[in-house]
Amino acid sequence: MEQLRQLRIGVRLTVAFAVVLLLLAGLGGFGMYQTSRANAYARDLGNNWLPSVKVLGDMRASLNRARRASLQALLESNPEARVVHQKKHQEETEQVLPKLIAIYEPMIASAEERSAYEKFRSSLEQLLALKKRQMQLAMGSDSDVEAGRKLALGDAAKAFAEVASASQKDIDINVTGAENSTLASERSYQQALTVFGGVIAVALLTGAVLAVVVTRSITHPLVISVAVAEAVAEGDLTTQFDIQGRDEPADLLRALQHMNERLVDIVGQVRLSSDSIATGSAEIAT
């Protein structure tokens, strides 16, 4: 309290408001930071992990359609029907699949995902080479078709299983990334709630303490000033009071003290004059 009394009231109030405003600014700044983090997690989830899972799923669907077309071409006895399946196979492997790969590659977000994707591409290239050979055999003679069937059930089937396994690994990585992003967003939310609650509590407590301390530092000397003024009004010029600080109420107390001292001097002079008059009157009377 005494330290506060060394400051002028304007400075005191400015400091008190500045502290509260700084707490509010800190709360707002932290809120903006946490909001940006939550937005980053949501953006990562919506723009990377989930789209990656979708594109990888579309790749697997395209490969399944191409595989069905290649197998149906081997089973068809009608040459025209074989041509239809051949075109379907070419559409999936030469148009749909390359477009999906071009969409997915920019979304690779980690070294682990890059490694899994490289394995997938390596297996995919082997599979496509075998499928191309399989389709060539399907469009040939009966002996070629039989060789194509053996290829489809042998090396091509094995290569397809490897591609499916590699793509599933890539999907699992992206699903895990999506789950981690969701968990991080939840942790950020819980952390924000905790910090917000703590800062609000500190702000309320600090505001209450500042309100009480600053108010008392102003009102207490004013109460003394009122008491001194009332004592003087009652004619009591003997009131003693201690003056502390350099603020406006301290200046007021000093002014009252000076006024009190002047009144004591004036009253003393009046009494002295009255005594002199009384003494002179007595001498005249004798």
DSSP string spanning 214-280?
HHHHHHHHHHHHHHHHHHHHTT----------SSHHHHHHHHHHHHHHHHHHHHHHHHHHHHHHHHH
- What is the token pair recorded at 95? 């148009």
Mean pLDDT of the chain: 83
- Cα 58 to chain centroid distance, Å, stands at 34
**Separation of first and last alpha carbons in the chain:** 64
Q: What is the pLDDT of residue 286?
A: 60
Whether residue 226 is found in the same domain as residue 179: no
Whether residue 119 is found in the same domain as residue 191: yes
Q: What is the pLDDT of residue 235?
A: 73
State which of 206, 233, 259 marks the end of a domain.
206
Q: Model-level pTM greater than 0.75? A: no
Whether residue 90 is found in the same domain as residue 175: yes
C-alpha 250/C-alpha 2 separation (Å) is 11
Whether residue 176 is found in the same domain as residue 277: no
- What is the token pair recorded at 104? 């997915």
C-alpha 165/C-alpha 1 separation (Å) is 75
> Is 41 within 8 Å of 83 (Cβ atoms)?
no
Report the candidate in 154, 134, 119 with the shortest Cα–Cα distance to residue 67: 134
| Residue type, position 86, single letter | Q
| Percentage of the chain modeled with pLDDT above 90 | 32
C-alpha 221/C-alpha 245 separation (Å) is 10
Give mean pLDDT, residues 138-166: 91
Residue keyed to tokens 């700084």:
22
Confidence check: pLDDT of 275 > 70: no
> Is 191 within 8 Å of 34 (Cβ atoms)?
yes
- The string over 215-242, giving b where at least 16 C-beta atoms fall within 10 Å of a residue's C-beta and e elsewhere, is eebbeebeebbeebeebeeeeebebeee
pLDDT bin (cut points 50, 70, 90) of residue 283 is: low
C-alpha 31/C-alpha 46 separation (Å) is 22
State which of 176, 206, 236 marks the end of a domain.
206
- With H, G, I as helix, E, B as strand and everything else as coil, classify residue 82: helix
pLDDT bin (cut points 50, 70, 90) of residue 162 is: very high
Q: What is the pLDDT of residue 89?
A: 92
DSSP 105: G
Range with the poorest average pLDDT among 66-80, 108-122, 224-238: 224-238
Whether residue 180 is found in the same domain as residue 252: no
Whether residue 201 is found in the same domain as residue 87: yes
Whether residue 104 is found in the same domain as residue 169: yes
Whether residue 56 is found in the same domain as residue 118: yes
State which of 206, 232, 257 marks the end of a domain.
206
Q: What is the 3-state secondary structure (H, E, C) of 4-66?
A: HHHCCHHHHHHHHHHHHHHHHHHHHHHHHHHHHHHHHHHHHHHHHHHHHHHHHHHHHHHHHHH
Name the domain count of the chain: 2
Whether residue 147 is found in the same domain as residue 259: no
222: domain range?
Answer: 212-285
pLDDT bin (cut points 50, 70, 90) of residue 127 is: very high
Q: What is the pLDDT of residue 157?
A: 93
Whether residue 125 is found in the same domain as residue 186: yes
Give mean pLDDT, residues 152-171: 93
Give mean pLDDT, residues 102-114: 92
Whether residue 32 is found in the same domain as residue 85: yes
Residue keyed to tokens 């397809």:
160
- What is the token pair recorded at 157? 């089937």
Q: Which residue has the higher pLDDT, 184 or 285?
A: 184
Range with the poorest average pLDDT among 127-131, 206-210, 279-283: 279-283
Whether residue 189 is found in the same domain as residue 219: no
C-alpha 111/C-alpha 214 separation (Å) is 59
